[in-house]
């Protein structure tokens, strides 16, 4: 598949690439079997391959193009025009880093993260266009959750953790006030409450298992439903200023 890199826009060669990709994955039953899926990888990678090529692709994502592609795929139907969703169970995606949004879409595309709607959509988008879309949403402003009163008590788990359960404070990784750290630990401040609870429960039950090294599964499986709910309320209602 390597020879396909850099020629994806030329429709004649594209047909060859798609055919080769199709042969590679025949029989896996994976979303890649979709004829429309094109990739610079060419086979289903075990985990997100953080190669120089992928990083280059992400860094070169074109936000303007991304806006047009997002429009074409009607992402706003669920995530709102600028990545702030109206529904409590649909995540806000405004302000996620390019690398994080890219990874999540990539994981849906390659079947490492489950969600029928997202898998179907991402399966039809080329890796290049995923990078463009990620660049667009990274430029949008995130917002705190509306209509929910900020919890007065700061959960101990958020800032201190719990040694007896080997739980690090969430803020150690997600940054003070859940604003995200580095490229791959996401912003969780302002995240929709129901999505937060759903995704933490999915980690807890290993229904979501695309977290590298099982970092979130290890944590979530030790949390009670009440603790998850309290954390969802706390982070969801946080103002986004540092």
List residues binding ligand HEC (CB under 6 A): 70, 73-75, 77-79, 90-91, 93, 101, 103-105, 113, 115, 117-118, 121, 133, 157, 168, 170, 172-174, 184-186, 188, 191, 196, 198-200, 210-211, 215-216, 219, 231
Helix, strand and coil in the chain, % to nearest 5: 50, 0, 50
Nearest to 37 by CA among 103, 98, 127: 127
For the chain, helix (H) and strand (E) counts, in that order, are 12, 0
Question: Where do the DSSP E strands lie in 111-173?
Answer: none
24 or 227, CB closer to ligand HEC?
Answer: 227
Name the minimum Å distance from CB 126 to ligand HEC.
Answer: 12
| d(C-alpha 137, C-alpha 228), whole Å | 27
CA angle 59, 83, 168 (to 5 degrees): 75
Name the minimum Å distance from CB 27 to ligand HEC.
Answer: 26
Look at the chain and count its residues.
242
104 or 179, CB closer to ligand HEC?
Answer: 104
Q: Beta partners for 185?
A: 181
Name the minimum Å distance from CB 200 to ligand HEC.
Answer: 5
Place of tokens 């990539």: 106
Name the minimum Å distance from CB 91 to ligand HEC.
Answer: 4
Taken in order 166, 167, 171, 175, is the CA torsion positive or negative?
Answer: positive
40 or 75, CB closer to ligand HEC?
Answer: 75
128 or 210, CB closer to ligand HEC?
Answer: 210
42 or 186, CB closer to ligand HEC?
Answer: 186
Name the minimum Å distance from CB 211 to ligand HEC.
Answer: 4
8 or 105, CB closer to ligand HEC?
Answer: 105
Name the minimum Å distance from CB 26 to ligand HEC.
Answer: 26
Q: Are 231 and 166 in contact (CB under 8 A)?
A: no
């Amino acid at each position: 598949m390597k020879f396909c890199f850099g020629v994806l826009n030329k429709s004649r060669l594209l047909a060859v690439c798609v055919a080769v990709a199709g042969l590679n994955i025949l029989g896996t039953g994976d979303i890649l079997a979709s004829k429309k899926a094109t990739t610079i990888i060419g086979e289903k990678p075990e985990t997100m391959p953080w190669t120089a090529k992928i990083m280059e692709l992400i860094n070169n994502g074109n936000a303007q193009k991304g806006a047009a592609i997002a429009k074409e795929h009607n992402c706003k139907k669920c995530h709102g025009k600028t990545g702030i969703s109206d529904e409590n169970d649909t995540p806000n995606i405004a302000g996620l880093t390019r690398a994080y949004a890219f990874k999540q879409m990539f994981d849906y595309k390659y079947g490492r993260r489950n969600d029928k709607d997202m898998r179907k959509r991402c399966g039809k988008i080329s890796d290049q266009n995923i990078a463009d879309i990620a660049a667009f949403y990274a430029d949008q402003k995130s917002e705190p959750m509306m209509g929910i009163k900020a919890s007065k008590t700061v959960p101990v788990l958020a800032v201190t953790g719990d040694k007896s359960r080997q739980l690090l404070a969430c803020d150690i990784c997600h940054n003070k006030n859940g604003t995200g750290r580095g490229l791959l630990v996401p912003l969780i401040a302002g995240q929709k409450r129901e999505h937060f609870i759903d995704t933490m429960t999915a980690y807890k039950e290993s229904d979501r298992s695309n977290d590298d090294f099982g970092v979130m599964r290890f944590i979530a499986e030790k949390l009670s439903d009440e603790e998850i709910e309290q954390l969802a309320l706390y982070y969801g209602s946080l103002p986004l200023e540092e």
